[in-house]
Amino acid sequence: MILTGDAGERNDEEHQQVRAAMNRLRDNKAEQSTGARTVVALADESGVTRQRLYEQHSDLLNEFKATVGCGPVTPNAEALQRQLAQARAHNQELAAENAHLRGKIRTLSAVITEITHETSGANVVVSMPRRHPAR
C-alpha cells in the first residue's frame, strides 16, 4: 500500500516522532512516559498508538526491540556483572591449580611406584632351613 498526500505526510511525521521517542528512551530522557524500555513506553513517548506502531512502523519497532537492552546498565546489573567476572576469574585460577595438583599427583605416584619396586626385593622374607630335621 503506497501512501500519498496527507496520509504519507502523517506517516512520515509519526516516523520522526517514533524515532525521536526511541532516542529519548535510549538516552533516559523520557518526557511523556515512565522511561521504561518497553513498547508501551515507546507508544506513550511518541504519541502514536501501539496498534499504529505495529502496523505502520514495524521497522522502527523491531529496531527498538533489538537495541532496547544496549542502554545504560542499572547498578544492580553492574554489580552482578562484576561478581560474574570475579567468579569466572576465580574459576580459571581454580582450574589452573587443579591441573598443577594433578600433575604433582602423577609425579608422586610414579615416585612411589619406583621406590616400591626398588625396595620390594628387601621386603621378601626367605624361610631358613630348619636345623633339626622333623621327627
Q: What is the pLDDT of residues 42-74, one digit of tens each?
A: 899 889 898 988 888 888 888 888 887 655 556
In a domain, 129, yes or no: no
**48 in the same domain as 89:** no
Residue 133 domain flag? no
Residue 127, SS3? coil
Which range of 9-13, 15-19, 93-97, 122-126 scores highest in mean pLDDT? It is 93-97
pLDDT of residue 28: 84
Mean pLDDT over residues 65-85, rounded? 76
| pLDDT range class, residue 108, cuts 50, 70, 90 | very high
Please indicate whether residue 9 or residue 72 has the higher confidence score (pLDDT).
Answer: 9
Q: Are residues 66 and 79 in the same domain?
A: no
What is the domain count for the chain? 2
Same domain flag for 39 and 96? no
Nearest CA among 26, 56, 21, 58 for reference residue 42: 21
Whether residues 19 and 61 fall in one domain: yes
Q: Do residues 81 and 105 both lie within one domain?
A: yes
CA 59 to chain centre: 28
